[in-house]
Amino acid sequence: MARRREPRRRQRGSGMPRRKPASERRDCKPSSFSPVNVVRRRARLALGKARESLAWRGARAHARETAERYNRLRAAAIHRHRSGGRDGSRRFFRHGARCCVKRLSLLVVFLSGLLPLIALAQRAPDTLSKIKAAKSITVAFSADSLPFSYLEKNNQPAGYSIDLCKRVITGIGRAIGVPALAINWVVDTVPNRIAMVASGKADLECANTTQSQSRMKDVDFSSLIFVDGGGFLVRADSTVNGFGDLAGKSIAVTTGTTTEKRVDAMLKERLINAKIVKVKDGVEGVALLESGTVAAFASDKIKLVGLAAQAKDPKVFALLAEDLSFEPYAFMLPRNDSAFRFEVNRALTQVYLSGEIDQIFAKWLGPLGRPSGLLAAMYLLNAIPE
């Protein structure tokens, strides 16, 4: 077969060298903007984006698959915990029993806190309803506490506290709609009067009873009606002129009174060695002092003055100048009966504001002079406005 003859290249002019291709020349670099390079660059960018997109999609798919696997494992663990496997029913009931026990314990604690309140509400007396139904009121008082509370010759109660108490009873009758309340007077000692009011046998106590924290455990008190101080009554011819002179001697004191505790505390505080003789009332104490059996009789000063005035010869007795204690007087009331206490205090306020208290004081304590500054301040502070 005949060989094809290639055409001859056109020769340049004579004497001129042949020009080399650009790829072979050292002084000329291939252009980056050539069509081939542009196509290559675009291909590389497209390939990179494709790889990046595939990698991102793969990462998201992997994360989604991991989350689904975690949720499946978590659900399976919860199911196993609740069912307990083969012993699921036993664990379920055991868990339920524990929950019931906890709830019952909380319920018991809650009810135990409510029980005292329920019992208190059930125990709270309703003295006003009781008085209204009976149309009478029972009042305990003292028979030997002149000038506050004592028995007259006709066996009727009288005194500063009794007059004040009668005005309180009038106010109570007006409040419950029974103006003419019958009054049942009951005379007794201090401990028995406290027990009567605490048990509900007496609705009110009117005497010279000192308001104290220890007594507040059993009864409530009205607003203050008087302030006094404890002291000692001695014989006028005695050598006892002060507390220190009581060393080695006997002191009479009424049983169950605040004075009994104050005398004992004073003797211990001042290191005085004296014998305490307990008596049932003031009459017995004055009798022992008059006979010389005891060197002193301790009680509230106003009461001692009243007892000495009732004696055959009041000049036989003398009152020591020193004060033994501070004694705030108030009426005893049933505990936890705020409605009854409110009516009692409102009646006392009306007496203090109206000026009736001046008449009562002048009637029973006039010989002692006008009310002291402390007593006048007490009247003012307890006159609570409407």
pLDDT tens for each residue of 308-333: 888 888 888 888 888 888 889 999 99
Give per-residue pLDDT as tens, 182-218: 999 999 999 999 999 999 999 999 999 999 999 999 9
DSSP string of 189-245, one letter each residue: -HHHHHHHHHHTS-SEE-SSPBP-TTGGGT-EEEEEEEEEEEEEEEETT-S--SGGG
Question: Is 181 a residue whose pLDDT tops 80?
Answer: yes
Residue showing tokens 């609570």: 384
Across the chain, how many H-helices and E-strands are there?
11, 12
The predicted structure's pLDDT at residue 120: 47
Q: What is the DSSP letter of 368?
A: G
How far is 300 from 88, CA to CA, in rounded Å? 80
Residue showing tokens 């220190």: 244
Q: What is the DSSP letter of 106?
A: H
Which pLDDT band holds residue 372 (cuts at 50, 70, 90)? confident
Rounded mean pLDDT, 77-91: 59
Q: Which CATH superfamily is domain 127-381 in?
A: Periplasmic binding protein-like II (3.40.190.10)
Question: Is 357 a residue whose pLDDT tops 50?
Answer: yes
Dihedral angle, C-alpha 44, 48, 53, 56, nearest 10 °: 170
- Reduced to 3 states, what is the DSSP secondary structure of residue 261? helix
Question: Is 176 a residue whose pLDDT tops 90?
Answer: yes
How far is 343 from 174, CA to CA, in rounded Å? 10
- Enter the tokens of residue 346: 């409102």
Backbone angles phi, psi at 173, to 5 degrees: -60, -40
- Enter the tokens of residue 37: 């390079």
DSSP string of 268-320, one letter each residue: HHTT---EEEEESSHHHHHHHHHHTSSSEEEEEHHHHHHHHHHSS-GGGEEE-
* Domains of the chain, residue spans: 127-381
Question: Is 21 a residue whose pLDDT tops 80?
Answer: no
CB atoms within 10 A of CB 260: 17
Whole-Å CA distances, 284 to 143, 290, 321: 12, 10, 23
Nearest to 262 by CA among 169, 173, 327, 321: 327
Task: Tell me the one-letter amino acid at 91.
Answer: R
How far is 253 from 247, CA to CA, in rounded Å? 16
**More confident position, 145 or 184:** 184
Average model confidence (pLDDT) for the chain? Answer: 81
The answer, as to whether pTM is greater than 0.75, is no
Nearest to 188 by CA among 142, 232, 131: 142
How far is 349 from 254, CA to CA, in rounded Å? 31
How far is 360 from 299, CA to CA, in rounded Å? 23
How far is 341 from 182, CA to CA, in rounded Å? 19
Which pLDDT band holds residue 113 (cuts at 50, 70, 90)? low
The region of weakest confidence among 119-123, 124-128, 142-146, 218-222 is 119-123
- Enter the tokens of residue 246: 């009581």
- Enter the tokens of residue 3: 């060989």
